Each structure stands twice: as C-alpha cells, then as structure tokens.
Amino acid sequence: MVLQQPVRLKSHIKHESGKQKTVCVTACLTAIGVPVNGFDVTGSLQSQNYLRILNRHNFSARSRKSKMPKGLTIGACRKAIAKLDEDAVYFVVVNGSGYCHAMVLNNQGKTVVDTDPRKADKRKVHSIHAITKMK
C-alpha cells in the first residue's frame, strides 16, 4: 500500500457535541488515503469511528490483536507484525492513564505515522488492525 503525506492538525477540533477530530487519528487516516474532509469526528476508545471511516473509503480493517502476544506494548508489537508477513499497514491505538493515541506501522513494524514518537516505546496497545485497500 502506498502511503500519502499525512495532514497534521495544529490541535484537536472540538465540536459542540463534545466529539473531536483528533490530531493523531487525522494524521493516520490521511496517510492511509482518507481525505481530511472525508470525516468530522475520529472517535474514542469506546466508539472507534476510524474503523467506519476506513470502511466507507474502501479500506478493509482486520483486527490482529489475537495474533499478538499478551500484555502487548508497541515494542513487542513491532516484532510480531514483522512475523505476520502481510501486505498491509497497521493502525495501532494505545491507551494510558487518561489518553489514547493512534499511529501507523508498516508491515515490518516500523513507524510510518506517529504524532507523539517515543525513543523507547512501552505504551500498551488497545487495538491493532491490518489495513488494506479493497478492490
């Protein structure tokens, strides 16, 4: 899959409803190929709008969490992704105390998009999806 230059918002866009278009998910979606004007809100851990957005724009999102080791951190995730040998990119959501964050890894486990990079990444993975373009 050919990735595009991500759109990086200066800050989250907060709507009156309380829903948001977040910096990290917007960067991930636009890098994958979803136009920035193709969605208004990006969701939360409880309501993963980004999966519906990807589907609406002809991308397939398949969960890969069951293929990952238990207690998954980003560091361990990188090694497990490389072993999957799939032609996909991986949309990874991490969560911590009071935040969630999204990033995109390639099929070798290397970071493609991360608006909050870490040198040693021990953030816990909430979900991981293999993303491919539907034909």
Tell me phi and psi for residue 34, to 5 degrees.
Answer: -85, 125
Q: What is the pLDDT along the chain (135 residues), one digit of tens a residue?
A: 778 888 888 888 888 887 888 899 999 999 999 999 999 888 766 777 889 999 999 999 999 999 888 888 888 888 899 999 899 999 999 986 667 899 999 999 999 999 988 888 788 898 999 999 987
pTM equals 0.89
Distance between CA atoms of residues 94 and 87, nearest Å: 22
Distance between CA atoms of residues 97 and 86, nearest Å: 32
Residue 96: the pLDDT is: 66
User: 123: closest CA among 107, 106, 102?
Assistant: 102
Distance between CA atoms of residues 30 and 71, nearest Å: 29
Residue 92: the pLDDT is: 93
Residue 53: the pLDDT is: 93
Residue 91: the pLDDT is: 95
Residue 21: the pLDDT is: 87
